[in-house]
Chain A
Amino acid sequence: MTEDRWKEVRTRLREGSHPQPPPGRQLWERILGTRREGRRVDLPGTGVLLQTRVRLALSVAVVVVGLTLLTRFNHQPGEDLVVQTDGRWLFGFPTPDLSAQATRRAQYPLLPRFDGSRLRAGTWIYQRHSVVDGESQQVDGWDTVSVSSGVFGGEPAWIAASRHATYRGFWLGFSDSIYLRRSDLRPLRRLIFHLDSAQQVHVAQTWVFSAESVTHGVNTPLRDTTVTRPLPLTPGAWYAGDLWLVLPGIPFAKGWRGSVNDIGMYGQQSDSPTITPYDLRVAGAERLTVGAGNYLCWKIEVWLPWTEPRPKSFETVWVDQQSGIVVRFEERDLADIHNIGELVAVSPSPLH
């Protein structure tokens, strides 16, 4: 069915459907104006892009040498990882793809519970940029995370509020508020608000967790819907979109390996929420210097569940050994674009 729909759309486009209205006299007048002014417009060449290839080859060589050196001096030995780059983002992005989640078993022992005692109140600001074809691009987004103490349903809770902003010609972002039970970081309530400032679109989603079920509400300018589904939260289960909030609750140590259950409950169209394990392992210890300071970190590799049964992919996150706070994260996509986020400010300093 999906094949047919795409073929139908493709056929319509191939047959000559053009964006309406087409470019008209106004654009032609603009072109004439440029010609009249005698302004020179340089176009790229159309020959084989040898320069790009050479640059790419040099970049690869530099990366290989760099990684080799890093591995030699900074990493503790572990299994070789297959660097495969498909998949969706884990950190700072809340939409796992249910359709791609096959039945899957955890690679490592499931974490029995999160230790809530290590989480601290504070504010952390991350700055994001990407690296395309080995070239670092401009800063294109910020994530701000604030954790404060509160009460939810009579229970002591942490309130984690985060704001994620990305620039792509206009600002696109979402804010995310989560109530966590303080003892074990179990999710109690979550609100995500998406805003597309260019198109004036907003979407608010809420999840309210009870012992046995979750109620998911979606609010858009056109409709409000609420769906309640059974969801017995297994021990150690978490909603993976913001796994980084609960990383302080995981007892990382040299050689640590473990799996965390992800409540893949995104969307109201799915039949039922699913629970899928993420596999995490400590790949080494590294000292990082970022905008917010110098930290001795555990380097954690996280395997993404939605790429099965294809080759595994992973994201890398560096967490401060003392506090468990994320200091840096690195994601790589299938077009070989690296997205990198680094801690640039903390207030008040929860780390050192």
Chain B
Amino acid sequence: MRTPLPDGLPERIRSDSTEALEALYRVAGPPLFALAYRLTLSRADAEDALHDLFAGLPRALNHYREQGRFEQWLKRLLVRTVLMQRRSDGRRTMREAEYATELAQFQGQYEDTASSGEAERLLGCLPEKIRAVVVLRELEGMSHAEIARTLGISRAASRVRLVRGLERLRRTLRRER
């Protein structure tokens, strides 16, 4: 979120101001959507997450203690919203991720490898739990401490998942060489 947020936005949203919520949506919507999309790799799921986030934000702000940056807090809330939705979907398995790897490999035959879809395709090769760490660390620049807090895992687990995720990406890229 490179554009700074207007001052006092959280307080105004908390008091249920639609204008304030729309101002936040205009500035923070696209980057938050990008984050949700890279976590889910599905436009529909990403839109659902963003919808829930903005629709539930005025209530959720009652728990916002104004410690740390509001943008980071929003990201954390979005990631947890995505994880909550995915968990309820119960549709993650390692085997599926492996299938995705294989299909992605073949789909890559007729995709422009330099296209912006390449990153999503590569991220699709990762199991969801690992992909979350890779996205938050590599693309969002979060620290391992922040990732651990967001995902409810230890810092060591965050580091391990990152290393394994990057290793898997490397393998995928090597295989496509």
Contact = CB atoms under 8 A, between A and B. Distances in A.
A267 B108 CA distance: 14
Interface in B122-144: 122, 127-130, 138-139, 141
Contact of B164 (A3, A17, A86, A140): A86
A48 B149 contact: yes
B173 A5 contact: yes
A22 B114 CA distance: 20
B33 A53 contact: no
A81 interface: no
Contact of A31 (B54, B128, B177): B54
Interface in A105-131: 128, 130
A132 B122 contact: no
A86 B171 CA distance: 13
A168 B92 contact: yes
Interface in B88-123: 89-96, 98-103, 106-107, 109-110, 116, 118-120, 122
A220 B94 contact: no
A31 B31 CA distance: 17
Interface string A55-78: 000000000000000000000000
A155 to B, nearest CB: 31
Chain B contact residues: over half helix, strand or loop, or mixed?
helix
Given A27-B50, A335-B130, A337-B92, A46 B29 contact: no
A220 B139 CA distance: 33
A41 B52 contact: yes
A184 interface: no
Interface of B: 2, 18, 21-22, 25, 29-31, 33-34, 37-38, 42-43, 46-47, 50-57, 59-60, 63, 73, 76-77, 80-81, 83-84, 87, 89-96, 98-103, 106-107, 109-110, 116, 118-120, 122, 127-130, 138-139, 141, 149, 151-152, 161, 164, 166, 169-171, 173-175, 177
Closest 3 CB pairs of A and B: A49-B152, A41-B56, A333-B94
11 contacts: A2-B174, A13-B139, A31-B25, A35-B18, A46-B63, A89-B94, A95-B101, A128-B93, A168-B96, A201-B107, A337-B92
